[in-house]
Amino acid sequence: MYGLMMDNPLTITSIMQHADANHPNAEIVSVTAAERWHRYRYQDAFKRTRQLANALMHYGIQPGDRLCTLAWNDYRHIELYYAISCLGAIIHTVNPRLFPEQISYIINHAEDRLVFVDPLIVPVIAPLQQQLDSVEMYIILTDDAHLPETTLANTCSYEAFIHDQAVEFDWPALDERAASSLCYTSGTTGDPKGVLYHHRSTVLHSLASASADVFGLSASDVVMPVVPMFHVNAWGLSYSAPMCGAKLVMPGPKMGDGQTLCRLIQEEGVSLCAGVPTIWAGLLRYLANNNEQVPSLKKVMVGGSACPLSMMHEFEQRYGVVVAHAWGMTEMSPLGTTNTLKPSMRRLAQAEQDAIRIKQGRAMYGVSMKIVDEDDNTLPRDGRSTGLLKVRGPTVCCGYYKQEASEAHDAAGWFCTGDVGHIDAEGYLQLTDRAKDVIKSGGEWISSIALENAAVAHPDVLEAAVIGVHHPQWGERPLLIVVAEAALTQADLLDFLTDKVAKWWLPDAVIFVDRIPHTATGKIQKSQLREQFEGYVLPDCSS
């Protein structure tokens, strides 16, 4: 027997219409290249979204067409998010920091018809235009007065594109399983793979991620996504914030600038931020060096890479900001877990609470997780048994765009994340590595993440990466690579680590470098480090 409830489809259009009707005066404040801070309200945003939808329709955009954006977090990108998806077309967000060959590969693979590009990103795309066969026009995200000089052919300004368009638009009724957006994973091996979200997965992800133990969003919040809208939908905040009526503060091209982030927080009253550890390290350095405070900031979500305990302590003890550790993947819309303590855990001693808090956290509603061994047997949730992490759920992709079969998916529909870790009896996931980064020493696994976390807790260490290097007896041993702020020696660091990790985990050598390479999404690029240190001979193996 079916229930007697209405079958309204779960679409992004419903988020937009809800925000427009119930939170018309909530603000969106954006940093753009042309203006200091642009400010308008949701009702203004959705009025322009309807003008954009009219412009796209008159241009001849059809349901299912892919339209590319190469843009920062700002108000025009929000308009593109809603107009394109709610029209039935697909917004393909592209990371401008990818290598040029990757950008042209994915635009060609997606067969994007239009490219919406920020003026600051025009120099990235202009040299590639001859290779982009499907692109008909480049729309530069500014007005005529601020168009940059460029060799790009077939351009127009965004403002000219939507100018004179009617402010009314009849949004089409969409199937909730219709594709809404596309984001390619910037995998370190092989070609990038397209993750194709649908309206339903986006709405479910927004609902689940808005809940109290995840973002905990409300109409009283002022949300600043410092995670890019070009990478996994800014962790869904471009949907969940309007769904809850929260004010949005968009840092535009200034995401990596501690001073701008500090000003935005102080002047706009930002209460919640989300971003990767590198961003927060920059902000914390700026705050400490300039003796600034951020009294409105209540919570920072940290994910994308493991959040060091020292970062949590600094935020909490110096600035009164609660840090919630989160884990996710492009393939998961992206959120998988967040870490908040359960009531019984709040009574534990600080060190025991810390041991829980550095874990990646509990599954968000809708995400099922399991750890398996090499033969795909499910391992117990005992906080020790370590293996490959598999996930399943309505916000997880079931395959890749234009790919017949996916090696990452098994016959029962589980997606193998490529992450390695364990889950405890309370459901808390702790990642110890990416499968390809695991260090195998004498048949046992050493967690590079745990070693890196311990090393960055040293006050003079800016960044740390651990890779496995060949050892004749043990197979592999850990090599610690460090960017230090002050004069440090190997002995200082090993001494510091002695009581923080198992003795046999202590790195066999420490190398000091000026910089550690990062991927386009800000993660440490271990593949490049492994190449750089290929053939490295550990000191005790050199004779």
**Catalytic: 331?**
yes
Helix (H, G, I), strand (E, B) or coil at 287: helix
170: phi then psi, degrees, rounded to nearest 5: -90, 100
Please choose, out of 37-45, 69-77, 325-333, 510-518, the segment that lies near ligand AMP by the rule CB under 6 A. 325-333
Q: Which of 18, 38, 434, 518 binds ligand AMP (CB under 6 A)?
A: 434
Least distance from C-beta 107 to ligand AMP, angstroms? 19
Catalytic annotation present for 445: yes
Catalytic residue among 176, 268, 331, 463: 331
CA–CA separation, 161 and 422 (whole Å):
51
Q: Is 87 exposed, middle or buried (0-12, 13-18, 19+ CB in 10 A)?
A: buried
Peptide bond into 192 cis (omega under 30): no
> Phi first, then psi: what are they for 482, rounded to 5°?
-130, 140
Per-residue x/- mask for ligand AMP, residues 173 to 212, rule CB under 6 A?
Answer: ------------x---------------------------
Position with the least CB separation from ligand AMP: 330
Q: Which of residues 302-321 bind ligand AMP (CB under 6 A)?
A: 303-306
Q: Which CB atom, from 240 or from 330, has the smaller least distance to ligand AMP?
A: 330
Alpha carbon separation from 428 to 33, 99, 364, 374, 422 (Å, rounded): 42, 36, 11, 21, 8
Tell me phi and psi for residue 307, to 5 degrees.
-90, 120
Instruction: Find the binder of ligand AMP among 45, 283, 284, 431 (CB under 6 A).
Output: 431
C-beta closer to ligand AMP: residue 202 or 305: 305
Our CB check for ligand AMP shows the closer of 88 and 328 to be 328
Task: Judge if the upstream peptide bond of residue 277 is cis by omega within 30 degrees of 0.
Answer: no
Compute how many residues bind ligand AMP; rule: CB under 6 A: 19
Shortest distance, position 275 Cβ to ligand AMP, whole Å? 11
Distance CA 302, CA 325 (A): 5
CA distance 483 to 452: 12
Q: Which is nearer to ligand AMP, 39 or 434 (CB)?
A: 434
Catalytic member of 436, 440, 489, 504: 440
User: Using the rule CB under 6 A, which residue among 20, 159, 257, 419 binds ligand AMP?
Assistant: 419
Which structure tokens are listed for 160? 């000219």
- For ligand AMP, the closer CB: 126 or 438: 438
Q: Is 185 a catalytic residue?
A: yes
- What DSSP character marks residue 3? -
Candidates 61, 297, 329, 356; binder of ligand AMP (CB under 6 A) is: 329
93-123 burial string, b = 16+ CB within 10 Å, else e?
bbbbbbeeebbbbbbebbebbbbbbbbbbbe
Rounded Cα–Cα distance for residues 90 and 337 (Å): 27
Interface residue with ligand AMP among 48, 109, 325, 458 (CB under 6 A) is 325
Number of residues that this document lists for the chain: 543
Annotated active-site residue in 185, 337, 338, 432: 185
Nearer to ligand AMP, 245 or 304 (CB): 304
Which residues contact ligand AMP (rule: CB under 6 A)? 185, 232, 303-306, 325-330, 334, 360, 417, 419, 431, 434, 521
Active site residues: 185, 331, 440, 445
